[in-house]
Amino acid sequence: MNPSKREEYFFDLNGYLVLRNALSSAEVDACNAAIDAMLPIKDKEWVGYVHGHTFEDNDGLNLQQIYEGGPAFERLIDHPSWIDKVKHFIGGEGTFDYNHGPLFIDENFANLRGPGQAIGLHSGGEKATKRTQYRYRNGKFACGQVNILMALNNVGPGDGATMVVPGSHKANFPHPDFDKHRMQGEDAAVDGVEGAIEVHLNAGDAILFVDCISHGSARRVNPGQRRIMVFRYGPSWANFRHGYQPSEGLLERLSPEARQIVFPQKRVVRDPAKVRPNPNIGGIRPGPVTGLTKPGIGNLESKNR
Ligand SMILES: O=C(O)CCC(=O)C(=O)O
């Protein structure tokens, strides 16, 4: 369902919306059971195509590429509770942004966070990061990145709730206390940051937010574990935040619509019958090379946002 006029107004004003009951309790239970089945998973360990990952920042364990974790996660890719709203806020229909389709997910993960853990303040409109920018032009939204953060258990006071500075997606100046509360700062949590509010969620609720809003989380003080998932959507020409690539198995299982969001590009395959040796590069025989065989120089540890 497209956003209502009310949702448009408050998304523009605040930079985020809360989508209550975005997931049914059956969907929440299925995700929790599938995560439990993959645990324990250590940093840098793989369970199938799901990767244990931490920024080593005291912000918990990430299960990167969670959409590879089974059917419970596959249905989140184009979930009806948010997909039309995300398309609307990313925009770009009828422009080059739609060259490969409506959307692309550049990162998706579950995050498990325990007592004492938090994520510091990051993003902010003043950084003018193109990828995460907020834009409204010519009567249309044209944001660079819209996130869906889903709660897999209740997140209330003391649970380490996501915190946002409403309106900061349009900020022109850094938050005055950014340095103290930023990731890896002396107090890398958002508790007590002026203007920031905790967004409390029940299991199944989701926050839809433009990534350039200043955000992070409160420090968890309660016992137990906070469980959330984040899917980050952007335009179809975007690239993976980290170096992950979807597995062939996942691409085969998905519907055409979901597959296009996970891997919008149509691969250009070299047909060996149509390859002749390049006279400028000796010693290389024509062969069925379909893409890059060497990794790029991406950085899984990079937190710049
Ligand atoms: O962990 C949280 O509550 C905030 C997540 C976050 O910072 C992000 O998704 O960019």
Spacing, Cα 141 to ligand 1 middle (Å): 22
pLDDT digits (tens, 9 = 90+) for 39-76: 999 999 999 999 999 987 799 999 999 999 999 999 99
Instruction: State the pTM of this model.
Output: 0.93
Going through the chain in order, the beta strands assigned E by DSSP cover 16-19, 46-47, 50-53, 61-64, 104-113, 136-137, 140-141, 146-151, 162-164, 197-199, 206-210, 215-217, 226-234
Beta carbons of 92 and 234 less than 8 angstroms apart: no
> For residue 301, what pLDDT is reported?
54
Q: Ligand 1 pocket: which residues have CB below 6 Å?
A: 111, 119, 147, 149, 162, 215-217, 230
> For residue 41, what pLDDT is reported?
96
> Alpha-carbon distance 104 to 265, whole Å?
10
> For residue 294, what pLDDT is reported?
46
> Alpha-carbon distance 144 to 260, whole Å?
18
Going from N- to C-terminal start, the domains of the chain cover 5-248
| Residue nearest atom 3 of ligand 1, based on CA coordinates | 162
**Residue 274 scores a pLDDT above 60:** yes
**Residue 295 scores a pLDDT above 90:** no
How many residues does this entry show for the chain? 305
**Residue 303 scores a pLDDT above 80:** no
- Mean pLDDT throughout 148-163? 98
Q: What angle (nearest 5°) sits at the alpha carbon of residue 233, between those of residues 99 and 74?
A: 100
Spacing, Cα 294 to ligand 1 middle (Å): 31
- Mean pLDDT throughout 24-33? 98
CATH node for 5-248: 2.60.120.620
pLDDT digits (tens, 9 = 90+) for 213-269: 999 999 999 999 999 999 999 999 999 999 999 999 999 999 999 999 999 998 889
> Alpha-carbon distance 62 to 228, whole Å?
10
> Alpha-carbon distance 152 to 279, whole Å?
57
> For residue 166, what pLDDT is reported?
98
- Mean pLDDT throughout 149-166? 98
| Average of per-residue pLDDT values in the chain | 93
18 CB contacts (<8 Å, ≥6 apart)?
A: 199, 201, 205, 206, 207, 208
Burial of 269 (0-12, 13-18, 19+ CB in 10 A): exposed
Spacing, Cα 230 to ligand 1 middle (Å): 8
> For residue 100, what pLDDT is reported?
95
Q: Which two tokens stand for residue 256?
A: 């055409």
- Mean pLDDT throughout 197-202? 98
